[in-house]
Amino acid sequence: MNKRASLRPEITLRAREALTGWGFILIWVIGFALFTAIPLFETLRYSFNQVSVTATNIQLNFVNFANYSRALFTDPTFVELLIGYMIETLVSVPIVIIFAMIIALFLNQKFRFKGLFRVIFFLPIVITSGPVIRELTAQGAASAPGIANIPAVVDFLQELPRALRGPIEYLLTSFILILWFSGVQILIYLSSLQKVDRSVYEAAAIDGASAWEIFWKIVLPALSTATLINAIYTIVTLSHFSENRVIRYIYEQTYDVQGGIGYASALAFLYFGVMVILLIIVFLFLFRWVRRATR
């Protein structure tokens, strides 16, 4: 009996941990392969074809890069929406991050009903998806369009270059919607603040550091990694928001006579490429600060 047991291969602790980890993520891997990877590959294939849907099957007519060249060079609406998306995202991300950091610093203090305030600031995340946010947007609850009609604001917008006029007007009229995207970021900042040892603040105060110096030299470096995570999360969240004008345009082109599934697929991959470029730019910009702050 002992001889048989000795012949069995022994599994090391590291191998058991690896098998356990793969067991936990196996369902996600299978789900990603079936419901994301395969449809993504099919969409990429459609983007190089003119797709015709019949009652019996789907017919593909290979057109090479014609859909992509049409989107970039003969579709001014898509290019304008794409440029507007880039500028609006680069404007919105700092606002969301700064607002989330301020609220997290506030919620990290000791006061009554702190849990209630955390729920209030996280609640918009629950309702900013699906038909609820669509109805709120249609009713005007997510924007303040009257701001853009103030004479001083109108004169200010007229003085701006055309490329900046649209994003600045979007910022002024949709700042409520922008701040709605701050719930998860607040929680991430709050968890990072709670990891900082209170004794560090006390030691800095004993050495004569002011609250402003403590923020710049202790708190802000401690939040550097959280800031990078929040910036990436905010870009992704804004990019797949259901009321995003680029996404709505791509959806409309799917069923348009002049567009079609193939053309919409090409638009989707161009949009995805621009989003990746934004993520890379923000990552490289913030990663240097994170490295300096965590040394």
What is the Cα–Cα distance from 220 to 199, expressed in whole angstroms?
A: 17
Structure letter (DSSP) for residue 216: I
Whole-angstrom distance, CA of residue 234 vs CA of residue 93: 6
According to the model, what pLDDT value does residue 128 have? Answer: 60
All residue ranges of the chain with pLDDT < 50 are 1, 6-8
| Predicted local distance difference test score (pLDDT) of residue 7 | 45
Q: Which of 246, 223, 273 is nearest to 102 (CA)?
A: 223
Domain ranges of the chain: 2-47, 67-293
The pair of three-digit structure tokens given for residue 243, joined into one six-digit string: 């009321």
Q: Evaluate whether 233 touches 184 at the Cβ level (below 8 Å).
A: yes
pLDDT at 144: 58
| ∠ Cα 228 230 234 (to 5°) | 120
Please tell me the distance from the alpha carbon of residue 41 to that of residue 189, in angstroms, as a whole number: 36
Alpha helices (H) in the chain, listed in sequence order: 2-7, 13-32, 38-47, 66-73, 76-107, 114-127, 130-138, 151-159, 162-173, 175-179, 183-195, 198-206, 211-214, 220-222, 224-239, 245-254, 261-293
DSSP string, 116-167: HHHHHHHHHHHHSSHHHHHHHHHTTTT--GGGGGSHHHHHHHHHS-HHHHHH
Predicted TM-score (pTM) of the model is 0.77
CATH of 67-293, one of 2.40.160, 1.10.3720, 1.25.40, 1.20.1070: 1.10.3720
